[in-house]
Structure 1
């Protein structure tokens, strides 16, 4: 396992991890909302956040993105 800073090429894996966790934790969210957030992650959140990913066997499996104190 390795923890490293996010790179632009990590976006597909980050979106996959986000989608899986979000659907599990928030099954009540509407598809329209999820689609908009999927666009917001690479366009709005990641460029403005301090983001780290976890790799296992060279594959990104998890991430954390911090916007200030959140």
Structure 2
């Protein structure tokens, strides 16, 4: 199920973001991403329109669109990769915005 992000989703969303971004950037010290978490939480996410993908109550991915056109984040939990969750989230964003960029 995809729905708009709610404040109660934030801890799970940040867990997915931190694990995914750390795994995707093995050449960057994980401490950098841990220290970046407050910026993501307090600056980027509040300024974005975010949808989450839930399955059995577990948040498995999210997409955030900034400035009504820029996909600022698209993350899927590692254990759920390859199942079409990212595509489903992107399609949801496309339903709301005529044009998106990366």
Q: What range is the shorter-chain TM-score in?
A: 0.7 to 0.9
Q: What CA distance in whole angstroms lies between the structure 1 residues aligned with 2:10 and 2:49?
A: 14
> Normalization by structure 2: what TM-score?
0.61
Alignment of 1:28-43 (within 5 A): 28-43=27-42
Point out the structure with max Rg over C-alpha: 2
* Distance in 2 between residues matched to 1:35 and 1:20, nearest whole Å: 10
Residue ranges of structure 2 left out of the alignment (5+ in a row): 72-102
Counterpart in 1 of 2:53?
Answer: 54
| Stretches of structure 1 lacking an aligned partner (at least 5 in a row) | none
- TM-score normalised over the length of structure 1: 0.86
**Root-mean-square deviation over aligned CA pairs:** 1.3
Q: How many residues align?
A: 69
